[in-house]
């Protein structure tokens, strides 16, 4: 499927039947938003833009790139604690992407 998408050889019917959608408004300059679930899917992950933000550091202030992730999910299907653990795991993978790639994950 990835190769078909990269070639531009797919249509909307190829994108139906999923359980989770990822939507990215960050490319349009949006920091954060509330994504709306597309039934019958159970969740949608919204990706905001990457911004440089000041953070406290040992020697004052440092600037770090930050990315906002917003998750909407159907509480009838997914427990809130499970959704929170998913976001926690995703954040850990994003924060340590270089290390995970080196480990072959």
Q: Which residues of 16-40 are buried (b: 16+ CB within 10 A; e: fewer)?
A: eeeeebeeebbeeeeeebebeeeee
Calculate the CA dihedral of residues 22, 26, 31, 34 and round it to 10 degrees: -30
Q: Is 59 among the residues known to form the active site?
A: no
Q: Is 75 among the residues known to form the active site?
A: yes
Q: Of the listed 75, 82, 100, 103, which one is catalytic?
A: 75
Q: Of the listed 14, 79, 82, 100, which one is catalytic?
A: 79
The residues assigned a catalytic role are 75, 79
């Amino acid at each position: 499927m990835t190769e078909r998408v990269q070639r531009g050889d797919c249509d909307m019917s190829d994108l139906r039947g999923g359980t989770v959608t990822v939507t990215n408004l960050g490319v349009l300059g949006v920091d954060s938003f509330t994504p709306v679930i597309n039934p019958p899917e159970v969740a949608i992950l919204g990706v905001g833009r990457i911004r440089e933000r000041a953070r406290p550091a040992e020697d004052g202030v440092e600037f770090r790139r930050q990315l906002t992730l917003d998750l909407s999910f159907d509480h009838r299907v997914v427990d809130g604690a499970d959704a929170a653990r998913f976001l926690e795991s995703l954040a850990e993978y994003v924060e340590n992407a270089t290390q995970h790639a080196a480990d072959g994950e």
